[in-house]
Structure 1
Amino acid sequence: MLANLQPLGPTSQDQPLQLAFALKLHNESDLETLLAAQNDPTSALYHHYLTPQEFNNQFAPTQGDVNTVTAYLRQQGFKVTAIASNHLLIDASAPVATAERAFAITFNNYQLKTRVVYAPNDNPLLPEAIENQLETVIGLNNVTVYHPINLQSKLKQLPAYKGLGGGFTPEELRNAYDVKPLLSAGRDGTGQTIGLFEMDGYKAGDIAAYRQQYKLGTLKASNVLVDGATNTPGAGAIEVTLDMEVISAMTPGATQKIYIGPNTTAGISDTYNRIVTDNQVKIISISWGDCELASSKSRLGVLDTIFEQGAAQGQTFFAASGDNGAYDCATDASHSLAVDSPASDPYVVGVGGTTLNADPNGAYGSETAWSGVSGGTSVGGGGGRSIYFTHPTYQSGPNLTDPNRQVPDISANADPNTGYSIYYTSGNTTTPGWITVGGTSAAAPLWAGIATDINQMLVADKVAPLGHATAAIYRLYNTPQVYPPYHDITTGSNLYYKAGPGYDMATGIGTPDAWNIARDLENSPVLATQLLQNAGFDTGPASWVEHSSGGYELISTANPHSGKYSTYFCSYVNCHDSITQTAYLSKFTRKVTLSYWVYIGRGDTSTTCQDNFQVFLRTAGGDSITRLQKLCNMDANGWVQYSFDVTNALAKYAGQTIQLDFEATGTSGPRSNFFVNLDDVDFQSLVVVPGITTQVIQNPGFENGHAPWQEYSRSGYELISTVLAHTGLHSAYLCGYANCHDTISQTVTLPTSTRNVVLSYWIYIGHSTITDTCADTFHSYAQLPAAQGTTIANFQTLCNTDANGWIHYSLDITNALASALGKPIQIGFEAAGSSDPRTNFFVDVDDVTLYVTHG
């Protein structure tokens, strides 16, 4: 940004510098592997997030690294002021003279618009041993500072909403984005803590007045002051106020933890790092940022490392994508396409902006991508391609083929002319009181608040919470859901990129339907998990701990229920035998069941219970949780299976390790010959985890010709055509001639563990005549793969009267294909027309997908 500026002169030698020395992580490739596993529903590490200490042990710079760097800094005359607990950042201070001498650089002042800034003439020169430890030195210039991403309405409110000062009220926002059912179910954020990243202070009285006006209850909040910052409202206090009040509207019961740091390059990094190392909040709202082009690659890399640790710990950052549309650097007299940081970081959820239109009661009407003019300046929701970050793997689905990171991910109302009713009297405002404010910095806390309510619902219902939410957000987009999770915004632009069907760089994948998102996440398949190893004893005593007062080996071939082995207790005088195994109960277990087979034998015909077999659940330390069963010699009756639902007994032990203990004790009677066989133990938990969803149609858009599609045309035509494609260049063109009969199909095999099947396609029906008679037909179907294959199901029938341009159909065909699981079947499309040559009936089929969710 200073490349074309001439220096004003040297920077004062006494100018104080507050620097942060960023150290390199260890085992970075292992960290990337871990993050991929945490987002993979098929991995044992899925949603298995790290604590800060676990992260430090595996990936953080070592104490030796810290000692090397701090010793060097002190030797050069720097004062070390702080060392982050993850060893990532070492803060140090010194005057310019010390930095020039230590790093062989010269500082100069520059006029940057209305500010005089300083910067060095070159990168710091460091000894090799120090350079090998460092990622970069932050704070050698003060060019980059964060700016709040909000706009106060300066135009007439159209239409006039109910909020004092104009703008949407909390009630209207909840109606529009379907948050009310969550709140009505008691999911208002109670018990959750949400984090706010801030660069200024706020006036508590403003937040209290807002919450009182809209009956939101008393705020629970605490401040975390970083690097000497204070909660003193300044020029950016309106941003903090906006964040806190929008979050109050969406999640009134949540505790707000406000992290306030100084608006310096070192202060920005330190504040993010404090949020991550504290790890006390899982949802974080960020309404501050700067043009990506204003930061160096190394500085963005440091922020990326901090957010990467947050992702590994299950934290989600929602960041405003900017208010300058596709030209994020426009405030610096640059009109190049650019995006905002940190929204462009792949470990951050970038939140763009829309114009929300609601009915008089606040119910959702429509939305367009936001762009316009405010105060003589062109504005709009930030979006575009990152120049630093490549395409993250989670960012997949229709329209997501760019090799670079695309922004935004999601959007919400940001237009100041359809803005938010806010109460603000602090800072340097000239219009204290009720005002209307917009900007993507209102959309980010709205999303963060919704995510907090959803987390409360998921945890309460024993479903894994969002964790690091990027993969979940895109999974809702790129796989069919029971409830539509997003409003797809298809009109408008952000000054350059146009909104359209599916993902676009004006609005991302859309705006939230909060209740639908929550239900889709909650309706993830419930999988049964065997908690024990070697439950049938067929690998001997492996995984079990045995005790026998007679010193016997308990695993025996004497009398198994199935297989070759069982556990054989007692059969000696004064016996006392036990076998135990520990098991971990998932934090999100919904149900736990236990069953086993028991064979009790005895040699006498006693009519009293003298010998016992008991089953206990114990803590990891051996303390009794409950005794499930007590049987005795009187219960001898061959092999018998016993089953128990132990969900309630173990409810408070979710997330802990427990013991399953089987014990047998016998008397001193030598003739009793009491013994017990135990076999086929089944200790299962039902845990909510996402199923594995796969798109099984190959060449779904016909862009690779006809393979592996199979074609038939009565007149011998090639069906793959460029005449009228929905996307790309090709589609399947059926009919278009008199007495036509064309089919196109593909053979697939559904897994036997299939739970859900959704067939989706776009079709265009055309004809030349106007008639009310259904003379020409289109079918989608499944049949067995043979020349005259038996039809399994007809999914849909349409005819010439349904002509209405391109239409998208999505059909749940799970039940229709239930009998065909594990077998090859053909998914096909058929068109048949009448003999009337004037109808010109035809059907185009494109973008066919078959999403199969299985265990």
Structure 2
Amino acid sequence: MRSTPPNRSSLRGGWRRLGTAAAATAALVFAGFGTAVQADAAATASGKVTYVSTPCATPKHTGDLTCKSYRVTGGLTAFQKMQAAKTGITPKAADASTPSGYSPTNLRSAYGLTSAAASNGSGETIAIVDAYNDPNAEADLATYRSYYGLSACTTANGCFKKVSQTGSTTSLPSSDAGWSEEISLDLDMASAICPLCNITLVEATSASYANLGTAENEAVALGAKFVSNSYGGSESSSQTTYDTSYYNHAGVAITVSSGDSAYGAEYPATSRYVTAVGGTKLSTSSTTRGWTETVWKTSSTEGTGSGCSAYDAKPSWQTDTGCTKRMESDVSAVADPATGVSVYDSYGVTAGWYTFGGTSVSAPIIAGVYALAGTPASGTYPAQYPYDYAGTSSLNDVTSGNNGTCSTSYFCTATTGYDGPTGWGTPEGISAFAN
């Protein structure tokens, strides 16, 4: 049994499709991709990162969950600035031929995972739940893994599997360019953190609650003990029913993006059965760790989500006193597009390297950390695990930044110990995510 951690603070929730993608290609600002954020020539010239939302940010049908993806279109990312400092050569701001975001090595260094990633995860399966079909998913994943020296993960060698929400490998949903970007992001981040893990991509017929929930159940039925979800939307009185129907899987680590619309609870991140994953700005530093993090917030309407659920009951292991129901988030990882990650994608865009941000980055990262830590204990809800390590060196406490304004400070402002935007912090190794 795990001991109950001391009271610190709270978490948050909601529903909306969340990946934030950013790509270093100004030429790819297509009509219909959404409104560019800070996309002015002066900002680009000054090196400030600019980006646009991707097509899946607009729902196809009423009630659909939407993605919150942003693709970098100009400026220099944190990774590019880091490389420029090392080489003395400033890279081109718009060049999809070369990765412009953090690499697997960067991410594993930032979260103390270098040793664990080299030896853990073999035999474990991470499931990625997304909507619609990415016809290039396996090929794009192969390009990413090959570039970064990761072992092949293919259908042929049994590492990769793509199925519909009913488990079919042949009858797949219709293709969608916007969701394909999200799929590439999710697959690449799972690979980056747990390169020895198998990956199962479960594609829902559409982005509805029912179809994504059915895909969630299929992922678990296929044997995955780790399931990543980078979608969500507004809370509703129906969500406790969805909890029972789709997310109550004891012994399975289910991670969910906390949201990209700044302060405010979203579902399914506020489900009591999942790990709600917030987002940070990740930068190199002169500290012993070599990295530093603050809450990701770009504007009053863009940043990591957090908040107190209006509907979901508070889990027994969550002990903050400001929120009487489920608080979001539990833990966090990098999400700011300006300090985003490299992803390879070729469907619906010019084939190339893109930089992504948003809590669609942080959710599969945390799923990968759980996988490195090993199979969850039967009958447990792995969202509790980090709470048992609260305040220890197994988590990097994020103590600065906010994602908006709120009447209860820790709901939206980072502080020592628990807070809504970043939970108990980011991984420092795998201990806080072990059964």
TM-score bracket relative to the smaller structure: 0.7 to 0.9
1:421 aligns with 2:342: yes
Q: Which amino acid aligns with 1:210?
A: Y
Between the two proteins, the alignment pairs up a number of residues equal to: 349
CA 1:517–1:265: 2 relative to 1, 3 Å: closer
Looking at structure 2, the residues matched to 182 and 208 of structure 1 have their Cα atoms a distance apart, in angstroms, of 22
The alpha-carbon deviation at position 471 of structure 1 amounts to: 2.0
Q: 1:344 — aligned with what?
A: 270
Q: 2:317 — aligned with what?
A: 394
Q: Which amino acid aligns with 1:297?
A: S
Larger proportion of strand: 1
Q: Is the 8 A contact 2:77 2:101 kept in 1?
A: no
Structure with max Cα Rg: 1
The alpha-carbon deviation at position 359 of structure 1 amounts to: 4.6
Identity of aligned residues (%): 28
1:493 aligns with 2:409: no
Q: 1:379 aligns with which of 296, 302, 308?
A: 302
Looking at structure 2, the residues matched to 393 and 505 of structure 1 have their Cα atoms a distance apart, in angstroms, of 17
The alpha-carbon deviation at position 253 of structure 1 amounts to: 1.0
Higher relative contact order (CA 8 A, sep 6+): 2
Q: 1:290 aligns with which of 225, 228, 233?
A: 233
Q: Which amino acid aligns with 2:125?
A: T
Q: 1:156 — aligned with what?
A: 75
CA 1:170–1:360: 2 relative to 1, 3 Å: farther
Query: What pairs up with 1:754-765 in 2 under 5 angstroms?
Result: none
Looking at structure 1, the residues matched to 423 and 366 of structure 2 have their Cα atoms a distance apart, in angstroms, of 13
1:468 aligns with 2:397: no
CA 1:452–1:153: 2 relative to 1, 3 Å: same
Q: Is the 8 A contact 1:282 1:467 kept in 2?
A: no
The alpha-carbon deviation at position 41 of structure 1 amounts to: 5.2
The alpha-carbon deviation at position 318 of structure 1 amounts to: 0.3
Looking at structure 2, the residues matched to 471 and 183 of structure 1 have their Cα atoms a distance apart, in angstroms, of 22
Q: 1:320 aligns with which of 257, 260, 269?
A: 257
The alpha-carbon deviation at position 405 of structure 1 amounts to: 1.0
What is the DSSP-based 3-state SS (H/G/I as helix, E as strand, rest coil) of the residue aligned with 1:318?
strand
Instruction: Structure 1: give runs of 5+ residues left out of the alignment.
Output: 1-39, 43-112, 118-141, 327-337, 459-463, 523-855
CA 1:384–1:155: 2 relative to 1, 3 Å: farther
1:514 aligns with 2:423: no
Q: 1:257 — aligned with what?
A: 200
Q: 1:368 — aligned with what?
A: 294
TM-score of the aligned structures, taking structure 2 as reference length: 0.74
TM-score of the aligned structures, taking structure 1 as reference length: 0.39
Q: 2:372 — aligned with what?
A: 453
Q: 1:549 — aligned with what?
A: none
Q: 2:223 aligns with which of 266, 271, 280?
A: 280
What is the DSSP-based 3-state SS (H/G/I as helix, E as strand, rest coil) of the residue aligned with 1:236?
helix
Q: Which amino acid aligns with 2:398?
A: I
Q: Is the 8 A contact 1:307 1:348 kept in 2?
A: no
CA RMSD of aligned residues (A): 2.8
Query: What pairs up with 1:302-701 in 2 under 5 angstroms?
Result: 302-307=241-246, 309-311=248-250, 314-326=251-263, 338-359=264-285, 364-373=290-299, 378-396=301-319, 399-426=320-347, 428-429=348-349, 431-455=350-374, 467-477=380-390, 481=392, 484-496=393-405, 497-517=412-432, 521=434
Q: Is the 8 A contact 1:153 1:419 kept in 2?
A: no
Q: Note the alpha carbon deviations across 1:599-652, whole angstroms, 9 max, x for none.
A: xxxxxxxxxxxxxxxxxxxxxxxxxxxxxxxxxxxxxxxxxxxxxxxxxxxxxx
Q: Is the 8 A contact 2:395 2:425 kept in 1?
A: yes
Q: 2:50 — aligned with what?
A: none
The alpha-carbon deviation at position 465 of structure 1 amounts to: 8.1
Instruction: Structure 2: give runs of 5+ residues left out of the alignment.
Output: 4-56, 84-96, 154-158, 406-411
Q: Which amino acid aligns with 1:268?
A: L
CA 1:190–1:465: 2 relative to 1, 3 Å: farther
CA 1:511–1:114: 2 relative to 1, 3 Å: closer
Looking at structure 1, the residues matched to 291 and 2 of structure 2 have their Cα atoms a distance apart, in angstroms, of 36
The alpha-carbon deviation at position 165 of structure 1 amounts to: 3.1
Q: 1:211 aligns with which of 136, 145, 168?
A: 145
The alpha-carbon deviation at position 255 of structure 1 amounts to: 0.7
Q: Note the alpha carbon deviations across 1:9-65, whole angstroms, 9 max, x for none.
A: xxxxxxxxxxxxxxxxxxxxxxxxxxxxxxx559xxxxxxxxxxxxxxxxxxxxxxx
Q: Is the 8 A contact 1:172 1:363 kept in 2?
A: no
The alpha-carbon deviation at position 438 of structure 1 amounts to: 0.5
CA 1:466–1:325: 2 relative to 1, 3 Å: farther
Q: Which amino acid aligns with 2:240?
A: G
Q: 2:156 — aligned with what?
A: none
The alpha-carbon deviation at position 194 of structure 1 amounts to: 1.0
Q: 2:132 — aligned with what?
A: 200
Larger proportion of helix: 2
What is the DSSP-based 3-state SS (H/G/I as helix, E as strand, rest coil) of the residue aligned with 1:366?
strand
